[in-house]
Structure formats: C-alpha cells, structure tokens
Amino acid sequence: MARILAFGAHPDDVEFQCSGTLALLAQRGYEIHIAVMAGGEYGSATLSEYEIRRKRLAENVESANTIGAHFHYAGGHDGEIQYDPWYRKITYRVLREVDPLIVFTHPPTDYMVDHEEVSKLVRNACFLAPVPNCDSQSSHAVTSGTPYLYYWNAMGLVDIFGRPLSLTDVVDISSVMDIKERMLACHASQRDWLRHHHKIDAYIEMMKHNAEAQGRLIERPAAEGFIQHLGHGYPTEDILSEILENLCVRLRS
C-alpha cells in the first residue's frame, strides 16, 4: 500500500493539525509516517534541552504507535531550523526513506519561523528528492516521483496577519476525534510547557476548538483543513477527495 508522510517542525505539530486525517488514511490501509525536524529542545522550563528532547521524541513514538505509524526524527534543533544545505539534505533523506504518495506539512505562513522554514524545506524536498544528482552522496534511493503536497491549516487558523488561509480541502474527522485526542494526549510534557510559556492550560481543548471551527466550514462536528500545492511540477489531482470520498470536501481548485 502507498505511504503517507506528515512532516512537522516539532513533536506534537502533526497531532494538532492533521492526525485525524492520518487516522482516516490508516483505516483505509495506507502506511503512515510521521516525521519531525527538531526534537522539541525548547519545550521545557525545567528540563535540559537534551532531557526534554529524549522525552518529547519518546512521546512522539507513543503517539505514532496509536495509529500504527512509523516515526522519524530528522535531526534538527528547535529555533535553529533554516533553509540551508544541511537542513535541505536531512529533509531529502526523510523523503527518500519514506518515498510517499502524499506529504502533509506546515503552511508557508504560520505563527513561528520554525514552521515556515520546515514548509519551505519539505516543499523543496518533494520536488528534488526524485532527482538523482541532488544530494548524490546519499545512500538513499531517489523517490519514485514528486508526491502530492498539502499544507495543513495554520496554528490558530490564521496567518501572521490574523487572516484565515484560503483552504482547498476540508476533511471531516468527526469519526476519529477520539483517536486524535489520544495521539495529542501522548505529548504530556507539553501541557506544563504551554502553561508556563503561553499561559494557558487547555492543551486538548485548544485542539478541539480548532477542529470544531474547521468543522463549521463544512457543517460537520469536527474537521481539518488543507491547502493543496498546485504549482508547476507537482501533481494537481485532488487525491484526498479520491481516497476519502465524501469525508473530504473540496472548497476550491
């Protein structure tokens, strides 16, 4: 069965933004892969960066196991992600290891720069991972082609200027909200972090609020929104609607 890759900047990004859709795809027999660029080293007020990285990556493995997904840590570091040769290479290598049919990642505009840099890195890797002379010293075989690329919605559902993103697809995840909640709850260390840094104590409730808000776009109880990358050189068929049928509503082409 074809493989699906969700590639986030930090542990828990995927769970917040697209784990419901991944659960639906897993139920349809697709092989699911979850990757993170950084290890969550800034995500604690009490543990060292190495201690919290170990904890957060273990939480991410537990979350991935919930839907039988494979987990990949690319090797980057919180706050240091940038569009440079080293980060481009480690992104190529994750793409080549998985060779996905569909890739999900951050939108080009989001509330923090790590997310935006990963968006660029993953977009670039989708296009260049099939090219033999790109990172030709790598032991990984090139991908079989350019995958379908979808950006999940921005955190908080708005860009850095407070504007809603122009979504192309909204997926009804009402039937798998319990799975999405269990996956996010695996990231137990982040409840304490968000209370400290963001001054909130509503880790799960924030996710539910966002899912409900996106559900209202299609008159369903809960949903996840996406923007398909439709630029030159990328496949443009609406593969999500093809796979998920009536659970995926196409808003625009």
pLDDT, mean over the chain:
94
Q: Can you give the pLDDT at residue 137?
A: 79
Q: Closest Cα partner for 252 from 172, 168, 171?
A: 168
pLDDT at 162 over 80: yes
- Confidence grade of residue 193 (pLDDT, cut at 50, 70, 90): low
Residue 167 pLDDT grade (very low, low, confident, very high; cuts 50, 70, 90)? very high
The band of 196, judged by pLDDT with boundaries at 50, 70 and 90, is low
Taking Cα atoms as reference points, which of 131, 129, 109 lies closest to residue 119?
109
- At residue 23, the pLDDT reads 98
Tell me the residue ranges of DSSP E strands in 59-216.
70-76, 102-105, 148-152, 169-172
Asked whether the whole model's pTM tops 0.75, one would answer yes
Task: Write down the pLDDT at residue 66.
Answer: 98
Name every residue whose Cβ is closer than 8 Å to that of residue 120 and which is 6 or more positions away in sequence.
83, 108
Q: What is the pLDDT of residues 198-221, one digit of tens each?
A: 666 577 888 999 999 999 999 999
Partners of 31 in beta bridges: 3
Give the whole-angstrom CA distance, residue 47 versus residue 45: 6
What is the structure's pLDDT at 115?
Answer: 98
What's the whole-number mean pLDDT along residues 148-153? 98
Give pLDDT, residue 81: 98
Render pLDDT for 12-41 as a digit per residue (tens, 0 to 9).
999 999 999 999 999 999 999 999 999 999
Mean pLDDT of the 229-246 span: 96
Q: Is 151 helix (H, G, I), strand (E, B) or coil?
A: strand
pLDDT digits (tens, 9 = 90+) for 120-132: 999 999 999 999 9
Q: What is the pLDDT of residues 57-83, one digit of tens each?
A: 999 999 999 999 999 999 999 999 999
Query: What percent of the chain has a predicted confidence (pLDDT) above 90?
Result: 86
CATH number of 3-250: 3.40.50.10320
